[in-house]
Structure 1
Amino acid sequence: MFGDFLRRLAAPGPDPLPSEDARLALAALLVRVARSDGHYAEAEMRRIDRILALRYGLSPFEAVALRGRAETLEAEAPDTVRFTRAIKDAVPYEDRHGVIEALWEVVLADGARDHDEDALLRLVANLLGVNDRDSNIARQKVEARQG
């Protein structure tokens, strides 16, 4: 279903993705982070829906539909690098901190931090060009909002 999309992500020196594809890549990355601990909780799904609705001005129905497409894409994608490369190309550096905050929101949505989620988030932040310090600041902001 998403074979062409994945081929475009894997192409050497791909062109920047259209905004709809960049949305799908971010949504799939949010799903990947949520699934990384082996438990994809309802709270994580609701948080992803909320993030997508707020970030892209989607209705609740549209956000759920985008998450559904992202769940399928995430399951078919062999690695995380494809998503991060697409996001890095589509999102200016100063806005990537918001992406990291969104990822931390998903990690913390179920009330528990897992080693696998932390490890994946460290990798993703690095692939997006965001250092550990800034990722930790993003996590602290999310914890303060939730807390």
Structure 2
Amino acid sequence: MFADLLRRLTADEPERLPEPDAQLALAALMVRVARSDGDYAPAEVDRIDRILIARHSLTPDAARALRAQAEELEAEAPDTVRFTRAIKDAVPLEDRIAVIEALWSVVLADGIRDDEEDGLLRLLANLLGVNDRDSNLARQRAEGRR
């Protein structure tokens, strides 16, 4: 189902993704982060839905549908390093900084911040081309919204 999108994301020279595909790819990255600790908690699912509603002006039903597609895409996507680098090449920087903020929000949704998640977010920020300063500011904004 997502073969064309994955092919475009992993092409040698990926082009910018059209908005619906970029939304889906970035939602899949949020799902990947939420699943990374082996506990895809209801609080994380809810947080992803709320982020999708706010970022894309979706209805709750549309957000749930997009998240469900993102869950499928995430399961089919290549390893995190390749997937994230592909997103970096296909999505503008300002959107990637907003994605880091959204990822921090997902990580913080369960109220627990651990070294593993911090390390993963540092890696993802680097792979997305977002510097440590911007990532820390994004984390602070996400913490302020909890």
Unaligned 5+ segments in structure 1 are none
Q: Distance in 1 between matches of 2:115 and 2:60?
A: 31
- Specify the alignment match of 2:55 in structure 1: 55
Q: Distance in 2 between matches of 1:67 and 1:96?
A: 18
Q: TM-score, normalised by structure 2?
A: 0.91
* Residue deviations 1:76-135 (CA, integer Å, cap 9, x gap): 1122232443355322x2343221111100000011123332222111111121111221
Contact between 1:17 and 1:90, CA under 8 Å: does it hold in 2? yes
AA in 2 matched with 1:10:
T
Instruction: Quote the sequence identity (%).
Output: 65
- Specify the alignment match of 1:70 in structure 2: 70
Q: Distance in 1 between matches of 2:51 and 2:88?
A: 15
CA RMSD of aligned residues (A): 1.6
Unaligned 5+ segments in structure 2 are none
AA in 2 matched with 1:51:
I
| Aligned positions, number | 145
Q: CA deviation at 1:30?
A: 0.4
Q: Distance in 1 between matches of 2:72 and 2:94?
A: 29
Contact between 2:14 and 2:86, CA under 8 Å: does it hold in 1? no
Q: Secondary structure at the match of 1:82?
A: helix
